[in-house]
Amino acid sequence: MAEDTFAFIIHPIDPKGDVSRKYPLFGRLLTEQQIDFLCTFWPPVYISQIEGVRSEAAGKELVGWFIAVPYTPRRMLQLPEQAVYRKIVQAGHMAERLGARIMGLGAFTSVIGDGGVTIAQRLDLPVTTGDAYTVAVAAQAILEAGRLMGLDPWQAVTAVVGASGSIGSTCAQILADTVGQLVLIGRDSRALEAVRERCEGHAAQVRTSTDLNAMREADLIMTVTSAVGAIVEPQHLKAGAVVLDVSRPRDVSREVAAQRQDVLVVEGGMVEVPGEVDFHFNFGFPPGKAYACMAETMALALEGRYEDYTLGHDISVERVREIEAIASRHGFRLAGLRSFEREVTPAQIARVRELAEEARRRRGNG
């Protein structure tokens, strides 16, 4: 057994689609409501062994495991918090038995309750949510997508939706150094004001809004809420806008893809993993690619940082910068852009830019 090991906790987000990846018959026959109900009684599920993650700097290789907590986001919000904690801790005990030396919390398992603090207290192995590297990669991705669309971040209006959340707040602070105008959007005006104060004194002019329609003026939009369903609809977006959707489940409605070919929607957090990684499980990404939260867990193991790392709902900019440097040193990097499970191609970007220009011309003539 390799000396450097990790585990990563996943869970079904699209009930029928994700359950079908492991149990094709159940996914086909059961309704979403039946899956939600039955998953309450299902134990954590061993998914696969992960092999071939290899550090560019140190040359050492990892072994890891995917373990699934069988709760959908909707079910996690319906159940008592302690019941959800118990199931995640059970998954953690499975990780310990497998020999994992650090565990990452994926998707809603990192959001629920106190952001991993209680989970870490109840386990012997260290825990991270992966949120610090998620922030780092999201900031890289939105600036890269904007560059491809010909947008100057100093001239563009940039919005962060869910800006008072743990990821959104830190993303806003990092973007405040690299954009000219920053709009913080969320539900709680007092919490937004606290984030605005932390963003002051940097390059950006910062303002807040509790109205999703404030997105209409934004050229670059990062959306990082913990909503269970889509909140960004076609009418919220201006022609030529770039939307980076970091949330799982998605914040951006599929209607945007269907109706708004004049905007670019990209997924946040796809990372190229160093080495010849084989996940032995299809979680929807191309071979060799992972979510940033997964990559944080792997990078910490390669670094030998077997300690609780990103926990709670307050992620410091310093921690983001540190994990960004660690991940870069071992060979993790932003892995291109994807939109609704497909690679974003130069031809697609050219088409979006062309349609956006047509829409702007029509508006000008109207």
CA 260 to chain centre: 23
Domain limits of the chain?
A: 5-132+271-334, 138-269+337-365
Structural fold of domain 138-269+337-365: Rossmann fold (3.40.50)
CB neighbour burial string for 146-165, b if at least 16 within 10 angstroms, e if fewer? bebbebebeebbbbbbbbbb
pLDDT of residue 86: 95
| 353, 240 contact by CB (below 8 A) | yes
pLDDT of residue 206: 97
Please write the tens of the pLDDT for every residue from 202-223.
999 999 999 999 999 999 999 9
| 6, 102 contact by CB (below 8 A) | yes
pLDDT of residue 29: 78
Averaged over successive runs of 10 residues, the pLDDT of the chain (366 residues) comes to 86 74 74 79 93 93 95 87 95 97 92 92 96 94 94 96 92 96 95 95 94 96 87 94 87 91 87 96 88 96 97 94 98 88 88 91 72
| 168, 224 contact by CB (below 8 A) | yes
What is the rounded distance in angstroms from the CA atom of residue 194 to the CA atom of residue 183? 13
pLDDT of residue 2: 59
Please write the tens of the pLDDT for every residue from 254-275.
899 899 999 999 987 689 999 9
- pTM value is 0.89
